[in-house]
């Protein structure tokens, strides 16, 4: 469950980190199937609304939640975003799915109080609900202009392997259950 960063904005479907994840699982001979329920522009509220149907339809063992960037870019109150993410985490857990929460960071122009609170929220939620956590999806990517599309927000195809390499060590423990 994600936004454009997982939907593969302006990329071929086979180039996104999520598509690369499916290939890596096959290479590692792991039996998991990947369902990419990511939508460009998605918010935590939209994800919360869509999650029950996706859980019912796919009955996943693991739910990766990569949402919040659009909420932050819109200046959504952190308390509302937290409530939405809490709802997604508890709904997934109540449906016997392990959760991997994927953290994001915001540009500094939103002010230190908001950006620090935004980033800390992912760590706090992961600790509170005992989920896996990727601290920052775009680690080693967001600060390199050559790995970002011209909008400065979305990673290029060349960055997708790096993104998967950031996610993989945090996902692996959940794959071994």
Q: Which of the residues are catalytic? A: 4, 151, 154
* Crossing angle between the packed helical segments 44-58 and 78-94, to the nearest 10 degrees: 10
Q: How many CB atoms lie within 10 A of CB 130?
A: 10
> Whole-angstrom Cα distance, residue 164 to residue 160?
6
10 Å CB burial of residue 27 (0-12, 13-18, 19+) is exposed
Secondary structure string (H, E, C) spanning 36-55: CCCCCCCCHHHHHHHHHHHH
What is the chain's Cα-based Rg? 15
Residue 21 DSSP SS3: helix
The answer to whether 85 and 65 are in contact (CB under 8 A) is yes
């Amino acid at each position: 469950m994600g936004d454009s960063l997982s939907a593969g904005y302006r990329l071929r479907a086979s180039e996104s980190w999520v598509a690369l994840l499916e290939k890596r699982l096959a290479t590692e001979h792991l039996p998991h199937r990947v369902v990419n329920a990511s939508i460009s522009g998605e918010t935590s509220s939209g994800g919360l609304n869509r999650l029950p149907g996706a859980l019912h339809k796919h009955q996943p063992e693991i739910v990766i939640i990569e949402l919040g960037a659009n909420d932050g870019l819109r200046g959504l109150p952190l308390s509302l975003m937290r409530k939405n993410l809490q709802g997604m985490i508890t709904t997934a857990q109540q449906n016997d799915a392990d959760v991997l929460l994927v953290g994001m960071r915001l540009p500094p122009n939103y002010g230190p109080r908001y950006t620090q609170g935004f980033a800390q929220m992912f760590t706090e939620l992961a600790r509170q609900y005992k989920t896996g956590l990727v601290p920052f999806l775009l680690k080693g990517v967001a600060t390199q202009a050559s790995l970002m599309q011209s909008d400065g927000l979305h990673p290029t195809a060349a960055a997708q392997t790096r993104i998967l390499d950031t996610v993989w060590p945090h996902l692996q423990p959940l794959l071994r259950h």
